[in-house]
Amino acid sequence: MKFHLPLALLLLTGSIHAQTITTSGQPAQLNIRSAGAHSIRITLKPISYKDAAPYTPALAIRKEAAPEISIKELHGPLKKRVGNMLVSIRPKPLTVTVTNNKGEKVQELSFQENGNITFPIDDHPILGMGEGGPKPAAGTNWRQLPVEFDRRGRLHQMLPRWQGDAYGSRNPVPLLVGTGGWALFVASPWVQVDLQNKAQGSFIPTPPAGQGGPQTQTNQHLNQGKGLPPASSFVPGLLDVFVFDAHDPLQFMQDVSILTGPAAMPPKWALGYMQSHRTLEDDAQMTGIVDTFRAKQIPLDAVIYLGTGFAPRGWNTPQPSFDFNPEVFKRTPAAVINDLHNNHVKVVVHIVPWDRDKLPSLHGSIPLLSYENPDAGHINTYWQQHLGLMNAGIDAFWPDEGDWFNLFERIKRHQLYYQGPLSTRPNVRPWSLHRNGFLGIAQWGGWVWSGDTESSWKTLETQIAVGINYSLSLSPFWGSDIGGFYPNEELTGELYARWFQFGAFCASFRSHGKTWWTRLPWGWGLHEMGPIEAKNNPLPSELNNPAIEPVVKKYDELRYQLLSYNYTLAWQARTTGLPLMRALWLHYPQDEQATALGNQYLWGRDLLVAPVFQKGATTREVYLPAGTWYDWWTNTPATGHQTITRKVDLSIMPIYVRAGAIIPLDPVRQYTGQPTDTPLTIRIYRGANGDYTLYEDDGISQAYLKGAATLTHFSWNNEAKKLSINTLRSSTNQPAKRMFNIVLLPEGDSLQVKYTGVPVSFTF
């Protein structure tokens, strides 16, 4: 065939100017596919790499879409729609620009010759990036440093680490939430995140650590790969990045949930109060403390026991151990646990893993899959060592340490404590509380606490920002040690009470710390502080304070009054990806003042929580977004889009309710499963239309996975003063008839409604 000269020249010119795509100096292939309804996955891989994309346990197992763009060379600018996004690609350097359906720019990634990925940043805060914050420089007074909420302004080395001071453990996640309307998650490789430049951020691939062998309990103080992906997963030039359109934050959170697996529903009891114990006397003390809770009518759902070695005398022989401590258990452990169960508390035990000699790795699934090797490191093999505890009646686990595990093993450990208990008790929801976590643990029921923090007012302030960022980028369930772990002279009854108030609005509601009697609700009213477990301790003059216990009891009872609201939030976390503790950005993305705040948050959609973190505070400044907001304690309305000053005393932590909110309010129970004949109160806050779906299931079993739940929808027409109730789904375990006590606020008008499941409407 002969070409006309112009056509021949055109083809020759095109071939001359075609850019071969490379990565780390190797010929490469660029694949771009739809990831979720509002996200795409960009994979740049050496041609020699044959898998479609690198593996990471952070992502749920699901069938992926085929690449809609798959190229090895670029002849010039390329534009193509990928899912709901418009993708533009240009060469030199290889740059991918992502735009949404509205024509709004989402993000732009430039793949640099040095292996870095750069992206523009704007004037809006960047949030997320996992749990924790910066490590203070040696000799720095961290109590005087500003709190890091916005992640801009520094190089994040993204090193997982144990850390005390104000932040607690660092569990980094390379999921950046740009509140200007974008989010990025680097699935592979591990990266440092450089946000020092005001206009441009960089992802810097981190090669495997030194050749010192695997991290162990002995060398865990070194950074030789602990918490990072295994060295075998690192392929030079292999880059895998998710780009999310976050102009609508709710759509972003939904996509993250789908990609990483929907959160497992916790057992309802896990939303109750948990009391942690350290140095134990004997089993009589264990049951006696629960008796005291019941006598004082301070609600309680679980007791947690530390292991020996972490305290002079714990529930077991010196850790790591699966054997009950005979110095503590004068009766058989099963009998003691049975007594605790009869007093309506669950029993949770602290557990640490074997070192590498007995647990060389963590891998596999439960039950064992046909192709898996059931060696000492297989989680099914390791789980068998827990069966004696399960047979004795232990309900849940507190897996501590394991900092020496690599990232994949850390996620696998969450899987162990989810699949393991289910293999033993197939229809009972597991629960575990971990020190370490990463994106993707929610599908394994992942709960994390912030580790061993100092008792200080600065720590309490910082934990608010830590919890918000964690909840945006790791899992929906988080909490901190109420009172701080390391006591000192700064720990007082006042600090404990303020922390307890904050803890009542965290998923994990647990008091824990050294010199542990001071973490009992009545501990500050005693004349002694119990076993001295630290070098620095509270001042004895702070004891005999009768003012603390009533405040603590008030917020404990409030937690139980919000049981139906909180349990519905757990269901929302599963179905929408929204956490319980929410950045204001999630519901007010256009409000720059709200977006920048890291010292207050939304609890669900409708409650705004402003913890008090200043010693001796008599006021608390609270920013209210647009709309009308009601003071929880007085029902006084306030106009939003402004900062107000709320007077406080020790009994008041400011809480505000959005106009149009519909809030279920339970009677005060002493434990979450306590039967009651008192009707569920439904509070309606006037001033705007509202709707609310109440989620109910048995709170215990796995039947929810098959849809065994009742969804009751409430709709409020503010102008007509009309409430409509409709059952969206009904489970056989819910009563056919029930009473609702409907209260209209701020007036306080009320109606008793007998609801039979048939749609009903009525007017105030």
Q: What is the mean pLDDT of residues 558-563?
A: 98
184-203 pLDDT, tens digit per residue, is 999 999 999 999 999 999 99
SS3 category, 408: helix
Which residue in the block uniquely carries the two structure tokens 């827990």?
386
- Give residue 733's pLDDT: 64
Is the pLDDT confidence value at 5 over 60? no
Cα 670 from Cα 656, distance rounded (Å) = 25
Tokens of 549: 């216990």
Residue 384 has pLDDT above 50, yes or no: yes
Q: Which residues contact 93 (CB under 8 A, 6 or more apart)?
A: 110, 111, 112, 113
pLDDT score of 622 more than 70 = yes
19-260 against 595-656: fold identical: yes
In this predicted structure, what is the pLDDT of residue 363?
97
- pLDDT, one tens digit per residue, over 84-115 is 999 999 999 999 999 999 999 999 999 999 99
Comparing 148 with 10, the larger pLDDT belongs to: 148
pLDDT at 12: 37
- At 18, the pLDDT band (50, 70, 90 cuts) reads confident
How far apart are the C-alpha atoms of 487 and 502, rounded to whole Å?
18
Q: What is the pLDDT of residue 207?
A: 87
Running DSSP on this structure, what letter comes out for residue 117?
E
Amino acid letter, 268: K
- Compute the average pLDDT of residues 534-547: 97
How far apart are alpha carbons 279 and 310 in whole angstroms? 9
Q: What percent of the chain has pLDDT over 90?
A: 93
The average confidence (pLDDT) of the chain is 95
Average pLDDT over residues 525-550: 97
Kindly tell me if the per-residue pLDDT of 289 is higher than 50.
Answer: yes
Band (13; pLDDT cuts 50, 70, 90) = very low
CATH of domain 19-260: 2.60.40.1760
We find that the CATH architecture of domain 595-656 is Sandwich (2.60)
Q: How far apart are CA 669 and CA 674, in angstroms?
A: 6
pLDDT > 60? residue 669: yes
Bond preceding residue 746 cis, omega within 30 of 0: yes
- What local confidence, expressed as pLDDT, does residue 7 receive? 37
pLDDT tens, residue by residue, 240-275: 999 999 999 999 999 999 999 999 999 999 999 999
Q: What pLDDT, on the 0 to 100 scale, is given for residue 62?
A: 85
Q: Who's near 3: CB < 8 A, 6+ residues apart? A: 11
6 pLDDT band, cuts 50/70/90, is very low
> If you average pLDDT over residues 295-323, what whole number do you get?
98
Number of neighbouring beta carbons within 10 Å of residue 426: 9
Strands in 78-82's sheet, in edge-to-edge order, are: 78-82, 85-90, 94-99, 105-111, 117-120, 200-205, 191-194, 155-156
Q: Hey, what CATH topology would domain 677-763 get? A: Immunoglobulin-like (2.60.40)
340: exposed, middle or buried (Cβ count in 10 Å: 0-12, 13-18, 19+): buried
Q: What are the extents of the domains in the chain?
A: 19-260, 268-576, 595-656, 677-763
Report, as an integer, the average pLDDT of 439-457.
97
Statement: 268-576 belongs to CATH 3.20.20.80: yes
Determine the pLDDT at residue 732.
63
pLDDT number for residue 209: 76
Average pLDDT value for residue range 595-623: 98
Section 392-419 average pLDDT: 97
Range scoring the smallest mean pLDDT among 11-20, 338-347, 552-561: 11-20
Could you give the angle at the alpha carbon of 128 between the alpha carbons of 124 and 131, nearest 5°? 145
Contacts of 747 (CB under 8 A, 6+ apart): 686
